[in-house]
Amino acid sequence: MKCLICQAASNTVHAAEDWSEIACSAGCGRYRVSANLVAKMKFRNEFFDIERTRRWLKMSRNDDPVPLISTYDYNVSLLHRDTEERSVIAPRRARQSLTSD
């Protein structure tokens, strides 16, 4: 499996209905992520901001050795890439008419 944050090879330590626990040896460490957040991100083709998320995980480990990233944390802590960053990485195609004039 790939790390949900940095896309490096990782291991799923535990999977439940509500969340999955991931162990990434490429720098993200061990964390849990809510199933709702994963579904939302896949639907919207969103990705984590690697550096912001790693900083958030480091701070969160003061309270919980295996922090849970929820939809709330993702939105409030801006763990996602900015719209401008995403457009540079994967520009959206303009919709074109299927009929010609």
Residue 52, domain extent: 10-89
What pLDDT is recorded for position 93? Answer: 40
User: What global pTM score does this model have?
Assistant: 0.76
Residue 101 falls within a domain, yes or no? no
Residue 1 falls within a domain, yes or no? no
Residue 70 falls within a domain, yes or no? yes
Say if residue 91's pLDDT is above 90: no
Residue 72 falls within a domain, yes or no? yes
Residue 18 falls within a domain, yes or no? yes
Residue linked to tokens 């763990």: 79
8 Å CB contact between 5 and 54: yes
**Residue 31 β-bridge partners:** 22
Residue 94 falls within a domain, yes or no? no
Domains contained in the chain, number: 1
What pLDDT is recorded for position 82? Answer: 62
Q: What is the pLDDT of residues 38-71, one digit of tens each?
A: 999 999 999 999 999 999 999 999 999 999 999 9
